Structure 1
Amino acid sequence: MCGINGFNFKDLGLIKQMMSLTSSRGPDNQDFFESEDFTVGHNRLSIIDPEKRSNQPYYFKNFVLSFNGEIYNYIEIKNSLISKGYSFDTSSDTEVIIKLFDLNGINSFKELSGIFSISIYDLKLKKLYLVRDIVGVKPLYYHFDFKTKKFIFSSLINSILINLKSKQLNYDALNSYSNFNRNDYRETFFKNIYKVLPGELIEVYDKNYKRTKILNFNFNLDKNEMELTDDISKNFSNQFLSDVPVALSLSGGYDSNIILQELLKNKGTNFTNYSVTFKNSNKFSEDHDVAKKISNHYGVKFNSIEVSSKDFKDNAEKIVDIVEEPTGNQNSISNIILSNNVSEKVLFSGDGGDEVFTGYNRYRSIYILSLFIKFNFFKDKNFKFKNKNINRLNIKNSRDLYLSFSEQNIFNNAKNVYKNFKLIMDKDLDQIFNHTLNLDNYPNLSNAMFHDLDTWVPNDILIRNDKIYANKGIEARVPFLDKNIIEDYLMLKDFKKYGLFFKSKNILIKNYQNLNKLILKKKMGFNSPFAGWLREEIYDFGKEILSKYYYDSSDIINFGFCQKLIEKHKKEYCDPYLIWNLISLQIFLRKHKF
């Protein structure tokens, strides 16, 4: 995990300023390359080969490399390069990337398995290459000024913002946030600052640039699901490579406990488990209690991290500063408290297990609906049902199915609190989808899961976790989102995913039966008592933030309805996730005076 910055002109003061803003991402070393045509800066977090010889920017022949992330198959690639006559001066994955690029050019990116944002500058061609990993674990942003022809890129939005003459709010991003609790568009909340999309290559040359989708999933449709334990052992062991201490965010569920089993095989008990507990809330601390019991069972060091209602108030503004945009996921507060207490440089989490192995109730609902459709229940009928779940039988394509089960259906009052609210429809998804843009439109479970992997995973889970932990010099790794695991298991037949008894995570349960006695029988997910605290401890805080006295954004937010919503929630459960969504947005709007 590192910070990378650069632009297609010369400005020593600017690159130093940008590196200062990304310094928390790479506190171990910083350096830059400068020519008349391009400037590249790097902040390094040393994980593989922490010696000075592997510092970046890294040079080989006419190439200059600055990259953020880890290449999990670098040893295999290195051995192949040695057989072709290449020699190596380091034991890092950095040197492997640049020499593979020397051999195969942009096709080399297709050979990399890992989490990365890479920049390579070719001194001869005066050409810059930027590429982001296929899942989107590592962030990368860019800005291009069509008048001056200046191209700027960075791991962080703030490093680009300092180059803009003025800031403008992107209302498309705002609308996505009001629909989905995140921004799924390419353009960030700031006009003219864009994401490099997962799997995308950008080539910058002759004062211009072009984008190409270069990394695509190649799904295995005939995988034997009983090979999962071997596949996990092989792929996870590659992710465990590290020359520094590592840790695990452990819960009471299958995902993180499978990672625990593999860590025990690879590292013995030489790592630390962390788990979050909530002050005065036994209900939401059950996960923590199971994690503690499991850690004691295996003799692994265990650290309890307590989160209180005060932490929500104290960190609500800080989390917007760190993530750089509104974050509608209230678990971000738990993440930031955890990040403050982790002392290791690498933290593994079970994120991605639910998305790849059917961990959500909505996936089971989609599977059952698909069975109704498959066996022609209500054939040739056009019933309209009052019950939303039953009425989904009329859905004819995967896009409408995705929207029907999306976060649009969590918020009951979005159109009342957001002025100029616009419902995102099927036709709008052409500007949102990346990997799934041209997906077969049949409304089945695998397509719905792939849509989540294309939107929610990179634009909420991954971006939030990366920035929060990187802010403390910690690399967050997500083994279940390994490209090979996704390609082999995401598109398995639905029956294999659920089995005869409609079990969530059926494949994991079948392959890891030894865990059944240890973990929680019913996993709650990484939730918090925020909804309850909003009625008592942070009620006044919510009322204060969602008022024009905190910041007058009444052209965007209906404060009168917001106040009624909070008051109603105090009496009965009512849209607490929407309330947090609005709190985070209001903080963001005030910070940037939008």
Structure 2
Amino acid sequence: MCGIAGFVDFRKDTTSETLKRMTDAVTHRGPDDAGYEVYEHASALVGFGQRRLSILDLSPLGHQPMHFGENLIVNFNGEIYNFKEIRKELEEKGYTFKSWSDTEVILKGYDCWGLDVIQKFTGMFAIALYDVSKEEIYLIRDRAGVKPLYYFWDGSSLLFGSELKSLYQHPSFKKNIDVNSLALYLQFSYIPAPSTIFYDTYKLVPGHILTIKLKSKELKTDKYWDVFDHYNKPKLNVSDNEAIEQTHDLMKKAYEYRMVADVPVGVFLSGGYDSSSVAALLQAGRTDKLKTFTIGFNENEFNEAPEAKKIANYLGTDHTEWYLTAKEAGEVLPLLPEIYDEPFSDNSTVPTVLVSKLARQQVKVALSADGGDEIFGGYGKFSQAEKYTTGMPSAVQKILSTSMSLINPEYIPYFNKQYNFTTRYEKMKLIWKSQDPVQAVKYISQYIPEREVESFLGKSFDRYHTFFEEGDKVLKNDGVTNRLLAIDYKTFLVDNNLVKVDRATMSVGLEGREPMLDHKLIEYLAQLPSNFKIRNGVNKWLLKEIVHKYIPKELMERPKRPFIAPLMIWFRDELKEQLRYYLSETNLAKTGVFNPAPIIALREDYLAGKRVNYQKLWQLLVFQLWYDRWIQKL
């Protein structure tokens, strides 16, 4: 696990000192070693930099950038879990190895099979590979998007890095805020790929390769894997027992792969089905106790720690918990824009950062259970979207939507005093207008509807294309659940959950691994009919059947609690002054992107105790913190 940075400069004026600054900006991702190299090409200067977190082969032989002969150079962030199998295959073809690192396997695998070697990889990775003889550079991102990869292109300079803060260090980079991307952020609390907060700056979409041709200055992007392709395959005709057995075997193998390390490994345990499956399958058959970690809250309605402790005790893990206070949360707030250098306001960033800090005291690798909701059907929004769009005739939906457009919800007695009513009214109007479950999930996922975003910005904005608009690319031959899972996989999972965990873990030099996102497990589940995921109103039916083999049902079955900090309580008390300061008229106006009046009105309604969705204010506050750190102070 590492942080990478680099450039392709067709102006040929980037210095090695600039490369060092770009690379060292992500020192937290790799505090154990550093490498910086600049290569001269007739058309451009090429720079590769890497900060290393030593997980496999702790010796200097794992140093990067790594070379093979005179023609191949690699810069790599991530882990190839099956590198030993690939290495053995290469050795049978006559290749020899100097190290026990997966990086060397990438190089020699490419030398043997070219870019087809990527299809052999099981892992998480962001790779920059320079083929000197072909005069091409490849940027490659793993199938699920566990590892981040950003790039900037202005026609003369291509900059890339694991985090935006690396790009900030290059003089060619322009911090021009894209208001259309800001609108996406305000809607979802994250910015869906490939967009970023800046113009000319992009996230490489998971499962894609960006090729830079040095002679022609041409950039092209190619797809090598897409979860849609697997959802579109014919559905498997298997029995319940066959599906349970096959899924269990794939999970067990995927989980064990993520334990491969030359350093201590632990597990984040919330006590829910996803993380409990990881802990249960890995602890079974082990004599040594698995280390598990949990964050708790003193506010009972948000606290999962007691349930997690019960699961840990039942499984016999070595469990550590930390109860988070509002004071400790307040101390983390100023750190968030440093950790998340693009506006990002998932409401569990604070506890995720702190559970990573907790785990890093004992281990160097932590397994997280992200992806379980997206691949097994865990979120209530999936059932809601189906009910809202198929639960009544389309003609009735159309009439309701049209009628709602004629009525201002703020003037509807009684209801206008209910929690977040105006927003929910707007969402239902749009859902019934679309009559499409994929669009329904999009609207359900929006914290701030587009109309309200326009009021906050004081103007209209362009609607950027996202994967929410690609629902028709998933076949409609199996109800709606599988379609919704496929879309959620390419939106909320990638650009919210995986961003949250990657930045939080790497901020403390902890490698986060995602065992539920093994591509072979995902490919199999994608071909299972929808009723293996949600059956008779039971979410995650298949996963629950597997977990109940290890943990009694009565210990697992309880109301689902989201892993979020109790911000709505803290912002009315201990953190109230921070909310007032950053969402003041002066601070809102200085960004040049907001219309302060409706935001201040929302803030005052919230502080007065009205039933306002605090998440809207949290998103605005996080943007203000980010702006203050990365735009105002630089």
CA distance, structure 1, for counterparts of residue 84 and residue 76 of structure 2: 17
Residue 409 of structure 2 aligns with which residue? none
Residue 282 of structure 1 aligns with which residue? 300
Partner secondary structure for residue 129 of structure 1: strand
Residue 378 of structure 1 aligns with which residue? 393
CA distance, structure 2, for counterparts of residue 339 and residue 578 of structure 1: 26
**Residue 400 in structure 1 maps to residue 439 in structure 2:** yes
Q: Offset of 1:476 from its aligned partner?
A: 1.0
The alignment-based identity, stated in percent, is 26
Partner secondary structure for residue 39 of structure 1: strand
The code of the aligned residue for 1:307 comes to: L
Superposed CA offset, 1:380-428 (max 9, x none): 766533687699567444543343332256799544434225484xxx4
Q: Which moved more, 1:393-402 or 1:256-265?
A: 393-402
Residue 34 of structure 2 aligns with which residue? 30
Superposed CA offset, 1:87-114 (max 9, x none): 3232221122111111111111122121
**Residue 533 in structure 1 maps to residue 547 in structure 2:** no
Kindly report which structure 2 residues correspond to 1:550-561, keeping only aligned pairs within 5 A, or say none. Answer: 550=587, 552-553=589-590, 555-561=592-598
Partner secondary structure for residue 35 of structure 1: strand
Partner secondary structure for residue 469 of structure 1: helix
Any stretches of 5+ residues in structure 1 without a counterpart? none
Q: Offset of 1:201 from its aligned partner?
A: 0.6
CA distance, structure 2, for counterparts of residue 315 and residue 362 of structure 1: 30
The code of the aligned residue for 2:574 comes to: E
Q: Which moved more, 1:130-139 or 1:51-60?
A: 51-60
CA distance, structure 2, for counterparts of residue 314 and residue 452 of structure 1: 32
CA distance, structure 1, for counterparts of residue 324 and residue 460 of structure 2: 34
Residue 17 of structure 2 aligns with which residue? 13
Contact 2:278 2:369 in 1 (8 A): yes
**Residue 80 in structure 1 maps to residue 89 in structure 2:** yes
Counterpart selection for 1:467 from 503, 510, 514: 503
CA distance, structure 1, for counterparts of residue 600 and residue 301 of structure 2: 28
Partner secondary structure for residue 88 of structure 1: coil
Residue 587 of structure 1 aligns with which residue? 625
Residue 483 of structure 1 aligns with which residue? 519
Q: Which moved more, 1:250-259 or 1:73-82?
A: 73-82
Q: Offset of 1:289 from its aligned partner?
A: 0.9
Partner secondary structure for residue 564 of structure 2: coil
Q: Offset of 1:452 from its aligned partner?
A: 1.3
**Residue 170 in structure 1 maps to residue 178 in structure 2:** yes
Residue 333 of structure 1 aligns with which residue? 350
Q: Which moved more, 1:437-446 or 1:507-516?
A: 437-446
Q: Which moved more, 1:88-97 or 1:388-397?
A: 388-397
Residue 229 of structure 1 aligns with which residue? 248
Residue 258 of structure 2 aligns with which residue? 239
Q: Which moved more, 1:233-242 or 1:306-315?
A: 306-315
Superposed CA offset, 1:343-386 (max 9, x none): 211111111111111111111223445764xxxx6377665336
The code of the aligned residue for 1:92 comes to: S
Contact 1:178 1:421 in 2 (8 A): no
The code of the aligned residue for 2:539 comes to: S
Residue 203 of structure 1 aligns with which residue? 211
Q: Offset of 1:184 from its aligned partner?
A: 1.3
Return closer, same or farther for 1:409/1:75 CA change in 2, 3 Å cut-off: same
Any stretches of 5+ residues in structure 2 without a counterpart? 405-424
Residue 2 of structure 2 aligns with which residue? 2
Return closer, same or farther for 1:266/1:209 CA change in 2, 3 Å cut-off: farther
Q: Which moved more, 1:21-30 or 1:433-442?
A: 433-442
Contact 1:322 1:468 in 2 (8 A): yes
Contact 2:386 2:437 in 1 (8 A): no
Contact 1:548 1:554 in 2 (8 A): no
Counterpart selection for 2:328 from 294, 298, 311: 311
Q: Offset of 1:555 from its aligned partner?
A: 4.0
Residue 188 of structure 1 aligns with which residue? 196
Residue 165 of structure 2 aligns with which residue? 158
Q: Offset of 1:193 from its aligned partner?
A: 2.1
Q: CA RMSD in A?
A: 2.7
Residue 407 of structure 2 aligns with which residue? none
CA distance, structure 2, for counterparts of residue 367 and residue 435 of structure 1: 17
Return closer, same or farther for 1:423/1:406 CA change in 2, 3 Å cut-off: farther
Q: Offset of 1:240 from its aligned partner?
A: 1.7
Counterpart selection for 2:120 from 100, 108, 111: 111
CA distance, structure 2, for counterparts of residue 370 and residue 145 of structure 1: 43
Superposed CA offset, 1:109-142 (max 9, x none): 1221211001111122232111001111101111
**Residue 99 in structure 1 maps to residue 138 in structure 2:** no
Return closer, same or farther for 1:475/1:292 CA change in 2, 3 Å cut-off: same
CA distance, structure 1, for counterparts of residue 476 and residue 170 of structure 2: 42
**Residue 506 in structure 1 maps to residue 513 in structure 2:** no
Kindly report which structure 2 residues correspond to 1:433-472, keeping only aligned pairs within 5 A, or say none. Answer: 438-440=473-475, 444-472=480-508
The code of the aligned residue for 1:588 comes to: W
CA distance, structure 1, for counterparts of residue 512 and residue 302 of structure 2: 23
Return closer, same or farther for 1:383/1:16 CA change in 2, 3 Å cut-off: closer
CA distance, structure 2, for counterparts of residue 133 and residue 415 of structure 1: 35
CA distance, structure 2, for counterparts of residue 319 and residue 587 of structure 1: 8
Residue 411 of structure 2 aligns with which residue? none
Instruction: Tell me the TM-score normalised to structure 2 length.
Output: 0.85
Superposed CA offset, 1:540-583 (max 9, x none): 22111101344534743333333332332231331100010000
CA distance, structure 2, for counterparts of residue 288 and residue 575 of structure 1: 25
CA distance, structure 2, for counterparts of residue 348 and residue 434 of structure 1: 32
CA distance, structure 2, for counterparts of residue 498 and residue 441 of structure 1: 17
Q: Offset of 1:441 from its aligned partner?
A: 6.8
Q: Offset of 1:8 from its aligned partner?
A: 2.5
CA distance, structure 1, for counterparts of residue 575 and residue 557 of structure 2: 30
Contact 2:457 2:595 in 1 (8 A): yes
CA distance, structure 2, for counterparts of residue 466 and residue 435 of structure 1: 26
**Residue 57 in structure 1 maps to residue 72 in structure 2:** no
CA distance, structure 1, for counterparts of residue 121 and residue 169 of structure 2: 33
Q: Which moved more, 1:64-73 or 1:528-537?
A: 528-537
The code of the aligned residue for 2:269 comes to: L
Q: Offset of 1:459 from its aligned partner?
A: 1.2
Partner secondary structure for residue 518 of structure 1: helix
Return closer, same or farther for 1:190/1:268 CA change in 2, 3 Å cut-off: farther
**Residue 576 in structure 1 maps to residue 607 in structure 2:** no
Contact 1:370 1:445 in 2 (8 A): no
Return closer, same or farther for 1:436/1:381 CA change in 2, 3 Å cut-off: closer
Q: Offset of 1:251 from its aligned partner?
A: 0.8
Contact 1:357 1:507 in 2 (8 A): yes
Return closer, same or farther for 1:410/1:305 CA change in 2, 3 Å cut-off: farther
- State how many pairs are aligned: 581
Contact 2:350 2:565 in 1 (8 A): no
Contact 2:183 2:453 in 1 (8 A): no
Counterpart selection for 2:137 from 124, 128, 144: 128
CA distance, structure 1, for counterparts of residue 314 and residue 467 of structure 2: 45
Contact 1:274 1:304 in 2 (8 A): yes
Q: Which moved more, 1:99-108 or 1:203-212?
A: 203-212
Kindly report which structure 2 residues correspond to 1:265-304, keeping only aligned pairs within 5 A, or say none. Answer: 265=284, 267-278=286-297, 280-285=298-303, 287-304=304-321
Residue 417 of structure 1 aligns with which residue? 456
CA distance, structure 2, for counterparts of residue 17 and residue 84 of structure 1: 40
